[in-house]
Amino acid sequence: MSSSLAISTKLNLQGHPVDEVGIRERVARLATRSIKKASKVEGLKLALSMVDLTTLEGADTPGKVRQLCTKAIHLHSGRKDLPMVAAVCVYPTMVRIAREALQGTPIQVAAVATAFPSGMNPLSVKLEDTRYAVAEGAHEIDMVISRGDFLRGDYGRVADEIEQVKEACGKAHLKVILETGELGTLDRVRLASDIAMQSGADFIKTSTGKIQPAATPEVVLVMLQAISDFYRKTGKRIGMKPAGGIANAKAALNLLIMVREVLGPAWLTPSLFRIGASKLPNDMLMQLEKERTGVYQGLDYFSND
């Protein structure tokens, strides 16, 4: 396609080697940061405010989505000092329900689109998917890149698709899911990040959450470094969203530490950093309760929406 040829010459993809062992060591050292007392409480609340509360199941129903939205607004009764999450993330056919349920709150509705999670449909279908979700009221679109095209080396096509989806988004913000678990090496994660940012992504996102491995700290670090370099070159701040596999509050705090020390405090805001998760908030709430009461908590005391 002539347009993808034109796009590929626009791409500025210089080699940027990534040393895996070095990455693992930096991740390990960042994870030794000890976040206690006030900074732990602040960090947890900050992390909660960055959550994209997610349900992406074939079995989702309006009732399930409404339940999730209630949880998004009221994470835990009995505490007045908790933030709301940043967004709720659903399939396109659930967007309208979510918009209704979240009316009057600042919580955004993000929709996955472009034949999520595999992306194995023609571009026309993926664009229609996007337009539909936007028309239904999605504030944000989480798209998937074509991993097959990427692994074949057809970077022009990958970039072209992202550009066109971005156009179809209109005013909606675009997160580009790299599906790092399928890319193989950290070098490739870096390359995919660069392609996505150069093609108009507002956010780059690690995974669909449908396969393992998902958002490992190693891929997160590589992507944060890509964002840092992009900012150095263009002055543009791109956001980042790890999704899937963020098991507990400690992992969430480790993410904040990484963002702070790799990108800087300016990125510690929901408009530039999100955490895609479904069960994670309860673990963070348990930690917050433990800090408040001094005793370890159990899941029985936290709502399971």
Partner 1 sequence: MTETSISTKGSNWGYAPSPESADHFKLKDQYGLFIGGKFVPAGSGKRFATINPANEKTLAQIADAGEKDVDKAVKAARIAYEKVWRKMPGRERGKYLYRIARIIQERARELAVVESMDGGKPIRESRDVDIPLAAAHFFYHAGWADKLGYAFPGRSANPIGVAGQIIPWNFPLLMVAWKVAPALACGNTVVLKPAETTPLTALLFAEICQEAGLPDGVFNCITGAGSTGAALVNHPGLDKVAFTGSTDVGKAIQKSLAGRSTKLTLELGGKAANIIFEDAAIDQAVEGIINGIFFNQGHVCCAGSRLLVQESVEQEVVEKLKARMEHLIVGDPLDKNTDIGAINSKAQCERIRDYLKVGQDEGAELFQTKCSVPEKGYWVRPSFFTKVAQSHRIVQEEIFGPVLAIQSFRTLDEALEKANNTPYGLSGGVWTDKGAKIFKVTRGIKAGVIWANTFNKFDPSSPFGGYKESGYGREGGRHGLRPYVELS
* Spatial separation of the C-alpha atoms in residues 146 and 178, rounded to whole Å: 9
Q: Is 175 a catalytic residue?
A: no
Taking the complex as a whole, how short is the minimal distance between the CB of residue 121 and partner 1, in angstroms? 28
| CB closer to partner 1, 106 vs 298 | 106
Catalytic residue among 52, 241, 283, 305: 241
Supply φ then ψ for residue 59, to 5 degrees.
-90, 10
| CB closer to partner 1, 25 vs 57 | 25
Q: Is 233 a catalytic residue?
A: no
| CB closer to partner 1, 41 vs 123 | 41
| CB closer to partner 1, 84 vs 201 | 84
Positions touching partner 1 (CB under 8 A) are 15-19, 21-23, 25-26, 32-40, 42-43, 45-46, 49, 81, 83-86, 106-108, 139, 173, 225, 232, 256, 260-261, 264-271
| CB closer to partner 1, 116 vs 267 | 267
End-to-end CA distance of the chain: 47
| 8 Å CB contact between 174 and 204 | no
- Separation in Å, CA 10 to CA 60, 159, 199: 41, 10, 9
| 8 Å CB contact between 177 and 203 | no
Q: Which of 298, 287, 294 is nearest to 39 (CA)?
A: 287
53: number of CA atoms within 13 Å, CB side?
Answer: 28
Catalytic residue among 71, 126, 129, 142: 142
Q: Is 71 a catalytic residue?
A: no
| CB closer to partner 1, 22 vs 184 | 22
Taking the complex as a whole, how short is the minimal distance between the CB of residue 173 and partner 1, in angstroms? 7
Taking the complex as a whole, how short is the minimal distance between the CB of residue 4 and partner 1, in angstroms? 29
* Spatial separation of the C-alpha atoms in residues 105 and 64, rounded to whole Å: 19
Taking the complex as a whole, how short is the minimal distance between the CB of residue 239 and partner 1, in angstroms? 10
Catalytic residue among 194, 205, 283, 305: 205
Active site members: 142, 205, 241
